[in-house]
Amino acid sequence: MTAIHVDRITKRFDPDPGKAPTLGTIDLAIEDGEFVALLGPSGCGKTTLLRMIGGLEQPTSGQVLINGESVSAASKAARRRILASVGFVFQEHNLLPWRSALANVAVPLEVRGMARAERRRVAAEMLALVGLSHAEGKLPHELSGGMRQRVAIARALSYDPDILLMDEPFGAVDAQTRDVLNLELQRIWMRRRKTVVFVTHSVHEAVFLADRVVVMGASPGRVVEDLRITTPRPRSLEATMTPEFLATAATLRDFLSDHFTPQESAT
């Protein structure tokens, strides 16, 4: 079943027809339970595309369908209903600094009117899922950057969305922490099998996490390659040094170098 269909969308922020649109025509189908990475340099429209999938931006033309329903054409009430099945994780964790890790995870449940005892139970379950049961009572400033991002993931999963949209969620942490978070996200995805769209600049991260890597080009933003990753799961950090993994990463870098100058290439 197709969970997300990006149906011939374009996006133009500048009304001047002489200027290139931010996104050219993009058509993309993502199946239920797939993990898809959007890979490309800054300015190619990855985040804009993600925001349109999540209903935070409207396309200039075309439409986005979630589980067969058009987000773009829906009324505000219908859009809220459709997007109730979508969770977001951004590069900035956006945790409330005065609330504990447990209370931060419970925020979406509180907004939905869930009873206090039940939302505490669900929030505790989500923190356990991301390995942070010991940090339930800690405030955000008492947590490391990686732990704060895990709380953000737990919060996004708390209301059991079908789709998880992730915009460079590990881009601000150090390389070692990023490896740990990639392992953690893979473990969570294999347990929950959510449909994930994951924006990244990193070839290594894309190959490690994804079922498919969609490579985007710029000026205007467009899909230039859609590559299926066949490395078996679960993937270990040691697997990133295998000939298959390195060959796949090299193929993606070749696609990138065909479309971007060296200073624009992904890492």
Same domain flag for 95 and 222: no
Residue 169 tokens read as 């969620």
Which of 113, 136, 160 is the last residue before a domain boundary?
Answer: 160
Question: What pLDDT band is residue 225 in, cutting at 50, 70 and 90?
Answer: very high
Same domain flag for 212 and 152: no
- Rounded average pLDDT over 190-207: 95
pLDDT at position 2: 94
pLDDT at position 257: 80
Lowest mean pLDDT among 74-78, 79-83, 105-109, 111-115: 74-78
Same domain flag for 156 and 178: no
- The total domain count for the chain is 2
Q: Is the pLDDT of residue 171 over 80?
A: yes
Same domain flag for 188 and 234: yes
CA 213 to mean position of chain CA atoms:
12
Same domain flag for 166 and 252: yes
Q: Is the pLDDT of residue 266 over 60?
A: no
Who wins on pLDDT, 57 or 260?
Answer: 57
Which of 160, 193, 223 is the last residue before a domain boundary?
Answer: 160
Same domain flag for 167 and 259: yes
101-157 confidence digits (pLDDT tens): 999 999 999 999 999 999 999 999 999 999 999 999 999 999 999 999 999 999 999
Half-sphere exposure of 145 (CA within 13 A, CB side): 13
User: 149, 93 in Cβ contact below 8 A?
Assistant: yes
pLDDT at position 24: 87
The CATH number assigned to the domain holding 206 equals 3.40.50.300
Same domain flag for 202 and 227: yes
Percent pLDDT > 90 in the chain is 72
Who wins on pLDDT, 73 or 57?
Answer: 57
Same domain flag for 53 and 90: no
Question: What pLDDT band is residue 17 in, cutting at 50, 70 and 90?
Answer: low
Its pTM stands at: 0.92
Q: Is the pLDDT of residue 264 over 60?
A: no
The three-point CA angle 67-68-73 to 5° equals 115
Q: Is the pLDDT of residue 262 over 60?
A: no
Question: Which residues are within 8 A (CB) of 226 and not within 5 positions of it... i.e. 6 or more apart?
Answer: 28, 212, 213, 214, 215
pLDDT at position 65: 94
Tell me the average pLDDT of the chain: 90
Question: What pLDDT band is residue 92 in, cutting at 50, 70 and 90?
Answer: confident
232-260 confidence digits (pLDDT tens): 999 999 989 999 999 999 999 988 887 66
Q: Is the pLDDT of residue 267 over 50?
A: no
Which of 109, 138, 160 is the last residue before a domain boundary?
Answer: 160
Same domain flag for 67 and 118: no
What residue numbers bound the domain in which 234 lies? 2-85+161-264
Which value, to the nearest 10 degrees, does the dihedral of the CA atoms of residues 84, 12, 172, 194 take?
A: 30
Percent pLDDT > 70 in the chain is 94
Same domain flag for 72 and 92: no
Lowest mean pLDDT among 11-15, 48-52, 91-95, 208-212: 11-15
Give the C-alpha separation, 233 to 211, whole Å: 10
User: 186, 209 in Cβ contact below 8 A?
Assistant: yes
Same domain flag for 67 and 174: yes
